[in-house]
Amino acid sequence: MDERICESCKNPFFADANLSICNVCIESLFNSVKEYISENRNATINEVIENTNVKRKYINKWLREGRLDLKSKLVDDEMKKINDFKNQVAKITSLVEDKENDKLMNKQKPKFHIK
C-alpha cells in the first residue's frame, strides 16, 4: 500500500499499485458505467468504454470482482438471438415440410377407377 494523490479528485489515498484514482472516484465511475449499461442493455464492452470514458482496466476489475456481469449478459443476448433464429428456422422447416407432404400426398392420391 502506498500513499498516492488521486488523479481525479486530487485527494490523497492509500492503494495497491495500478490504481491512480481513489475509491470514491472509482465508485463514481462504477455508477456511471452501471447507469450507462442499464440504459443501453445491448452495449458491448467497447461501447461502454467509449461512452463512459472509463478505462478498460477498471471495467476488467469490476468484471473480475463480479460487480459487473457484462460477459454473461452478452452471452445471454447472443443465446437468445440464436434461439430465436433456431425457432424461426424450425417454423419455416415445418412449413416447408407440410408443403412437401401435401405435394407428396397429392402425387400419391389414389386414383379411383370406376369398374
Contact flag: residue 20 with Zn ion (CB under 5 A) = no
43 binds Zn ion, rule: CB under 5 A: no
Under DSSP, is residue 22 helix (H, G, I), strand (E, B) or coil?
Answer: coil
For the chain, helix, strand, coil in percent to 5 are: 65, 5, 30
Contact between 29 and Zn ion by CB under 5 A: the answer reads no
Q: Does 9 bind Zn ion (CB under 5 A)?
A: yes
Residue with cell 412437401: 100
**Among the residue ranges 1-9, 31-39, 87-95, 99-107, the one whose residues contact Zn ion (CB under 5 A):** 1-9
Please state, in angstroms and rounded to a whole number, the distance separating the CA atoms of residues 54 and 69: 16
Total interface residues for Zn ion by CB under 5 A: 5
Q: Closest separation between CB of residue 67 and Zn ion, Å?
A: 18
| 22 or 43: CB nearest Zn ion | 22
Q: Which residues bind Zn ion (CB under 5 A)?
A: 6, 8-9, 22, 25
